[in-house]
Structure 1
Amino acid sequence: MAVRQRLPELIRALKSAPARPVAKNHLLPSLRRAFSLYDQINLIDNVPDDQLRFQRYTDTGFRVNGVEYEGSLLCYGNFLMSWTPKKFSDITSDSLSIFRTMRPVPEILILGCGRHIEPVDPELRHFICSTGMKLEVLDSRNAASTYNILNEEGRMVAAALLPYGVSS
């Protein structure tokens, strides 16, 4: 009963809190508010050292586990690889052919399209589905965050990410 009485108070406090300005360095959003009303919990900061974690994105690359990477990246579980596509139209079944031989097959492929979500060619979508993966298409900022969450949960997840500055 006490929680019900405090809930309107908490909602008012959250609504009246000043909006934080958007940082120029494009930090990924914190998961604090998604899991708790308290700032003591931040699951992303407690990821084991051997687990990949996207910490920041830029127009030209990403920061993963404290290391800056330029260009597109392909991630699977805790493996990180440089990836050749420079723009969305470069993404083909050949550029994702590694998934023909990868075992175990990831349950989901998160495709980060750059700044804007792009429609996926039906042939590419068919190729991805034929490998046994589900496809999630997002802008690269949200794709990196989604990868963090699913990887942290221990899911078999892969991500193919173009830098955020890429647009069609």
Structure 2
Amino acid sequence: MERTLPAAARSLSKVLNPTARRFLACRRTPLRPIAACPPPHGPSHRQLHGTAIRKHASPPPKSRDRGPASTEDTQTDFGALDVLRNTTTPATAIDACMHNGFALNNQTRILGSGVLLVGGEAFRWRPWLDERRTEGTVADGAVGDDAMTGRLKNAKGLWEVHHGAWGILDLVWPKPDLLIIGTGPQVTPIAPAVRRYLNDLGIRLEIQDTRNAAAQFNLLATERGVHQVAAALIPLGWKEGR
């Protein structure tokens, strides 16, 4: 025997909760406002949880004894994670940045000037000397070029040296991929003309203060090789003068 829709709804309402029965009764009345119909899920709506709810936290351990020390030989050796531990440090790595110069890893000291590290070689570097001045000391008849003072900033306060200071980079081949410039005790932005000149040689630049520039050169020269990374460093005791 076929059952009509109202009869099926009445049979279904007998097994539903009171809220659902009110909702079905509202739906069967077409003239009743929709706003008056109660929602299918009222305050008595229940949520199902797949896991049991813990009413109390687990008690703290009675002892901190973890048993005897492990004798396994599979423990992680964090010293083995140093991928450069078996790599030889370059002889031109900076061992110390001093007030008036630098100490290299090969026990060489360069005093009274900066240093230019290219292709595994170290060169005394005085970019503050004007091209028209003669390098030397007062005893040699010069005008005190051994003093670490001069001008490395242009009128706009940017770090700028003449192109002749980069002469070794014009001659060396293959040229380094990266040049790290240490501008002295603090970071000084370099002039666009200097960046353009070195970029035209195919060399990328990294500008830092001298201490951080030396540390970065040591790391990258050890990792990538001295032919890929070069450095141009100004001593920490450098003073901008006239």
TM range (shorter): 0.5 to 0.7
Inter-partner Cα distance in structure 1 for 2:89 and 2:197: 33
TM-score (norm 1): 0.68
How many residues are aligned here?
132
Identity of aligned residues (%): 28
Q: Quickly say closer, same or farther: Cα 1:37–1:92, change in 2 above 3 A.
A: farther
4+ runs deviating over 4 angstroms: 40-44
Compare relative contact order (CA 8 Å, sep 6+) and give the higher one, 1 or 2: 1
Structure 1 residues not aligned, in runs of 5+: 1-35
2:110 alignment counterpart: 69
Q: Quickly say closer, same or farther: Cα 1:64–1:42, change in 2 above 3 A.
A: farther
Inter-partner Cα distance in structure 2 for 1:153 and 1:96: 25
2:183 alignment counterpart: 113
Query: The residue matched to 1:56 in structure 2 has which SS?
Result: strand
Aligned partner (choices 98, 112, 125) of residue 83 of structure 1: 125
Does residue 165 (structure 1) correspond to residue 237 (structure 2)? The answer is yes
Shift of 1:109: 0.6
Inter-partner Cα distance in structure 1 for 2:204 and 2:116: 16
Matches within 5 A, 1:13-52: 43=84, 48=88, 51-52=91-92
Inter-partner Cα distance in structure 2 for 1:100 and 1:114: 24
* 143-152 or 96-105: bigger deviation: 96-105
Aligned partner (choices 84, 93, 96) of residue 166 of structure 2: 96
Inter-partner Cα distance in structure 2 for 1:113 and 1:164: 9
Structure with more helix by fraction: 1
Aligned partner (choices 122, 141, 151) of residue 211 of structure 2: 141
TM-score (norm 2): 0.48
Structure with more strand by fraction: 1
Shift of 1:54: 0.8
Q: Quickly say closer, same or farther: Cα 1:42–1:52, change in 2 above 3 A.
A: farther
Cα RMSD (Å) of the superposition? 2.7
The answer to whether the 8 A contact 1:60-1:165 is kept is yes
